[in-house]
Structure 1
Amino acid sequence: MGPWSLSLTGGLMKILAGDIGGTKTLLMLADVSHGRLSTLARERYTSADFPDLAPMVRAFLSDAGLASDGIDAACFALAGPVARQQGVDRARLTNLPWELNSTHLADNLGIPQVALLNDFEGIGHSLDDLPTEALHSLQTGQADPEGVRLVVGAGTGLGVCIVPPGHPLCVLPTESGHATFAPADTRQARLWQYVADQEGRCTREHLLSGRGLGRIARFLVAQGQSPGQSLGLALEGDDPAPIISQLALEGSDPVAVEAVALFLAVYGGQAGDLALGCLPFGGVFIAGGIAPRLLPRMQEGGFIQAFRHKPPMSHLLERMPIQVIGDTDAGLLGAARHAASLCQQPDQAR
């Protein structure tokens, strides 16, 4: 990875950043000087191989032949809600038996300042520093540089955060992915009922996630559509989403094509609902691992049509710039940026 440019000023500082998921964790040690971040070491680990984060960080520094001495600040973006109270960040990861405490990590690792962020908070912190080539426009809109920004992203789950205007940068995490899904038409109402019968309720995340794409394909089959052999075999497994996406992009299976079209209609509609809740004229950013893979289908217009179709407020939604974040390192970049900002604002570490 080449150097990143950060919209920060200040002299040389050494920071540690991490993007922690239930499956994998990315760790990076970097120097930041006058708004330029240069990677010193970077490694990917299988999260479940470690009992906690601190042993993983020690292994990372040992593998790189480095020590924690001289690290000015650290920030870890993680998949799960973060509670902040009296200057301490606490988190329990959604898919790992880890309970993290920023003060304990600082003491254990000998790092003066440690912060924990929700993974979508991390992406929110990256928005000012994402390179132009990492963004793919779906709707130009009329960008307001002082406007609210919204980040929505389907991947393993559905993440949402809001970035209000102002300095220093503030990111508001949410758990909106677990809100109840509101169908936009009769077919989506049948989809809601199909999922609710299985799960007890139907949330946004039940549909807008890798597992959600599989649920949508199985719903279409339950409605009488006939998948091809490859899709049929995939639907018998636990994670058919990669095969559904591949077949849809190839156009080789009508059920896969229809599943992705319905997925994107739900995605666009729910993103539009979320946008009406905060009016993000500064931009809507579609993050997560699914959107970059389905970008050619997203650019066909179904997502945007569903996003805008909110009469009598469609005219507002048409004004909002919408971009897909294609950089899967956005969470790591945001964690690095936040760690660097801690060095500049030691009295506002969290």
Structure 2
Amino acid sequence: MNILTGDIGGTHTRLATVEQGAGRFRVVDIARYASPDFDGLLPIIESFLHDHPQVQLQQAAFGVAGPVVNGRCRTTNLPWELSASELSTALGIPHVHLLNDLEALAWGIDTLDDSSLVTLQAGHASNQGNQAVIAAGTGLGQAGLTFDGAQRRPFACEGGHTDFAAQTQRDTGLLQALQSRYGHVSWERTVSGAGLVELFRYLLDSQAATTPGWLDDPQQDTAAAISQRALAGDDALCAEALAWFVELYAREAGNLALKLNATGGIFLGGGIAPRILPALKKNYFLQAFMDKGRMQPLLEAMPVKVICEQHTALYGLARYTGLAKAAT
């Protein structure tokens, strides 16, 4: 049976039907929508069903960027309020599951094979150890998987909104600049697409460099433009910003790995990590990841992998739905 799944982000929403066969998941129909163009999830679903009349809706699960409490979510980077029960009623199906988007990603990890992952550090995984997932994109999502004695159970958290911790004089300057504009400064303010832009603008200001004409082009993805120029070696300041971004990403990944004691491994997901793999493979990522004083040996033993399968969250939602149905 096909399951309608959706990965709901602040920038884009992907809806897809997923089917399972021979122990593997496969996307059947998929479409992508600009989230800000809609006033909620239901109009997107209705558009998808209109364009895919062959879909016979029986089960649905959606991963959404924001905290989900009692089947409801006020999205973090969109002015939406979502309710699993209201969606169930509107769609005329008995069960709609609403999960945090990183929890959905975590449910998808066990659907992946080695070809879907890039190893940054092999480590020595504990078969019964906890795992962690961190994903920079429009925001900074985090989740964990805890071993319950039989299998790993994903759980959501909002760790990306914890306080940003400056480690260097440059970090402190950035923190002060962001505090003057935003007040509270979270890790998401620095380790996200918007965060990369903030780093680049700070470097421009602190070095009194000329602002490039392309920076304020409304037709482009500014974070992508910075990373592309950095990886191509076309712009030294872009390269500096990306290297700084990678360092901060690694530091917060190390923080999460320690908080969850992720001896089973930590996974980098989201839209940014696969696009900046050459930078993540440089030594400064692992150096920053393991820069935790007496805890360095623990981090050295943790596998660190990048998720390169773009449908992982959709597979995770389908897997979760299947397990929930089997439990009823």
**Number of equivalences:** 325
Instruction: Rate the CA distance shift 1:49–1:248 in 2: closer, same or farther, 3 A.
Output: closer
- CA spacing shift, 1:152–1:40, aligned 2, 3 Å: closer
Give me the CA root mean square deviation.
2.0
Instruction: Determine if the alignment matches structure 1 residue 30 to structure 2 residue 14.
Output: no
In structure 1, what residue type is equivalent to 2:188?
A: E
53 and 235 in structure 1: CA distance in 2 versus 1, 3 angstrom threshold: closer
Residue 258 of structure 1: how far off its partner (Å):
0.9
Q: Which residue matches 1:300?
A: 282
Residue 75 in 1 paired to residue 86 in 2? no
Question: CA deviation digits over 1:148-190, x for unaligned, max 9?
Answer: 0010111111111111113565222111111111112222222
Q: Are the aligned partners of 1:225 and 1:255 in contact in 2 as well (CA < 8 Å)?
A: no
Q: How does 1:164-183 map to 2 (within 5 A)?
A: 164-166=146-148, 167=150, 169-183=152-166
Corresponding residue of 1:18: 6
Amino acid at match of 1:60: F
Map of 1:235 onto structure 2: 215
Pair 1:210-2:198 in alignment: no
- Paired with 1:143 and 1:195, the residues of 2 have a C-alpha distance of 38
The answer to whether the 8 Å contact 1:79/1:118 transfers is yes
CA shift for structure 1 position 317: 0.7
The code of the aligned residue for 2:190 comes to L
C-alpha change, 1:298 and 1:67, in structure 2 (3 Å) is closer
Secondary structure (helix, strand or coil) at the match of 1:171 reads strand
Per the normalisation by structure 2, the TM-score is 0.92
Query: Residues 309, 49 of structure 1: CA spacing in aligned structure 2 closer, same or farther, 3 A cutoff?
Result: closer
Q: Does 1:90 align with 2:72?
A: yes
- Distance in 2 separating the partners of 1:222 and 1:50: 36
* Counterpart residue type for residue 235 of structure 1: L
In the alignment, the residues of structure 1 paired with residue 93 and residue 26 of structure 2 have an alpha-carbon distance, to the nearest angstrom, of: 19
CA distance in 1, matches of 2:55, 2:289: 49
Whole-Å Cα distance in 1 between the matches of residues 292 and 207 of structure 2? Answer: 30
Cα gap change, 1:141 to 1:54, in 2 (>3 Å): same
Superposition deviation, residue 269 in structure 1:
1.2
Distance 1:175 1:143, change over 3 A: same
**Residue 266 of structure 2 is aligned to residue 284 of structure 1:** yes
TM-superposition CA deviations, 1:81-110 (whole Å, max 9, x none): 1112xxxx1112233333221122222212
Candidates 30, 39, 42, aligned match of 1:42 = 30
Contact 2:108 2:315 in 1 (8 A): yes
Change in 2 beyond 3 A, CA 1:320/1:14: same
Amino acid of the structure 1 residue aligned with 2:183: G
Q: How big is the shift at 1:290?
A: 1.3
Residue 261 (str. 1) matches residue 243 (str. 2)? yes
Q: One-letter code of the match for 1:75?
A: A
Once the two structures are superposed, the pairs formed by residues 49-198 of structure 1 within 5 Å of their partners are 49-66=37-54, 68=56, 71=58, 73-84=59-70, 89-166=71-148, 167=150, 169-198=152-181
Decide whether aligned partners of structure 1 residues 315 and 333 sit closer, same or farther in structure 2, where only a CA change above 3 A counts. Answer: same
What amino acid maps onto 1:187 in structure 2?
A: R
Tell me if structure 2 keeps the 8 A contact 1:218–1:235. Answer: no
Give 1:182's aligned amino acid: A
Instruction: Note the C-alpha offset of 1:221.
Output: 1.8
What is the CA distance between 1:25 and its match in structure 2?
A: 1.9
- After alignment, is 165-174 or 14-23 more displaced? 165-174
Which range moves more in the overlay, 196-205 or 245-254?
Answer: 196-205
Does the 8 Å contact 2:129/2:147 carry over to 1? yes
CA gap 1:213/1:34 in 2 versus in 1, 3 angstroms: same
Paired residue type of 1:31: E
- Distance, in Å, in 1 between the alignment partners of 2:66 and 2:291 is 31
> Structure 1 length as normaliser, TM-score?
0.86
273-282 or 89-98: bigger deviation? 89-98
Distance of aligned partners of 1:151 and 1:30 in 2 relative to their CA distance in 1, 3 Å threshold: closer
Closer, same or farther in 2 for the Cα pair 1:48/1:219, shift >3 Å?
Answer: closer
**How far off is 1:240 after superposition?**
2.6
Instruction: From the superposition, tell whether residues 334 and 179 of structure 1 become closer, same or farther in structure 2 (CA, over 3 Å).
Output: same
Q: How far apart, in 2, do the equivalents of 1:67 and 1:306 lie?
A: 47
Give the deviation of 1:118 after TM superposition.
Answer: 0.9
Once the two structures are TM-superposed, the CA of residue 225 in structure 1 deviates from its matched residue by: 5.7
User: How far, CA to CA, are the matches of 1:49 and 1:188 in structure 2?
Assistant: 35
